[in-house]
């Protein structure tokens, strides 16, 4: 279910931990699987569990506890906006509203063309850069004023 490249990445993560503690790589392995498939199907979670050597429900616990895992389809670009208080004081909530209007979707929704999924996030530990938006669980976009949002979205196919 995963490419040799993804499996090699998982193996690199596994190598960080003692041989009898493969479970430690569960979160990385699920992340690597999600990066390849964009979201985690139950089959993918079960595959990862098997690869690591843990009970499927144990991997499912991890996939459902950490909120950067997606267990339903998401668009090509997942945008997560922090609306927590420190960000909100500097326009975080407004950035979220602006994105909703611009994309015509609410939080947790995907645009009809499958291009964007918008999520409301919790503190990303980057309050000084507010408003912040996390792109595809990976790149932190800082100072997301409406202009900056327009510019960023234009870059994303």
| List of residues contacting another protein (CB under 8 A) | 16, 18, 21-28, 30-31, 42, 46, 52, 54-58, 60-69, 80, 83-90, 93, 121-130, 134, 137-140, 142
Q: What is the rounded distance in angstroms from the CA atom of residue 133 to the CA atom of residue 78?
A: 10
Q: Is 127 annotated as a binding residue?
A: yes
Q: How far is the CB of 154 from another protein (least distance, A)?
A: 21
Q: Which C-beta is closer to another protein: that of 75 or that of 121?
A: 121
- Measured over the CA atoms of residue 63, residue 65, residue 69 and residue 71, the dihedral's sign is positive
Exposure of 124 in the CB half-sphere (CA atoms within 13 A):
28
Q: Which C-beta is closer to another protein: that of 123 or that of 156?
A: 123
Q: Which C-beta is closer to another protein: that of 83 or that of 110?
A: 83
Q: How far is the CB of 98 from another protein (least distance, A)?
A: 15
Q: Is 141 annotated as a binding residue?
A: no
Q: Is 82 annotated as a binding residue?
A: yes
Q: What angle do CA 153, 154, 157 make, to 5 degrees?
A: 85
Q: Is 87 annotated as a binding residue?
A: yes
Residue 92 CB partners (closer than 8 Å, separation 6+): 81, 82, 83, 84, 86, 130, 131, 132
Note the helical H segments in the chain.
Answer: 4-14, 26-37, 42-52, 56-65, 85-89, 92-103, 146-155
Of 129, 130, 102, 95, nearest to 116 by C-alpha is 102
Q: Which C-beta is closer to another protein: that of 113 or that of 123?
A: 123
């Amino acid at each position: 279910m995963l490419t040799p490249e993804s499996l090699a990445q998982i193996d690199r993560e596994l190598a960080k931990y003692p041989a009898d503690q493969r479970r430690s790589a569960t979160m990385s392995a699920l992340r690597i699987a999600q990066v390849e498939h964009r979201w985690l199907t139950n089959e993918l979670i079960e595959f990862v569990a098997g690869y690591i050597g843990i009970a499927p429900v144990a991997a499912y616990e991890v996939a459902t506890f950490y909120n950067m895992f997606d267990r339903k389809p998401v668009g090509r670009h997942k945008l997560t906006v922090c609306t927590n208080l420190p960000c909100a004081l500097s326009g975080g909530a407004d950035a979220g509203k602006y994105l909703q209007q611009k994309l015509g979707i609410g939080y947790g929704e995907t645009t009809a063309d499958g291009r964007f999924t918008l999520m409301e996030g919790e503190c990303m530990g980057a309050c000084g850069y507010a408003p912040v938006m996390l792109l595809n669980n990976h790149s932190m976009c800082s100072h997301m004023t409406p202009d900056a949002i327009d510019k960023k979205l234009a870059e994303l196919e």
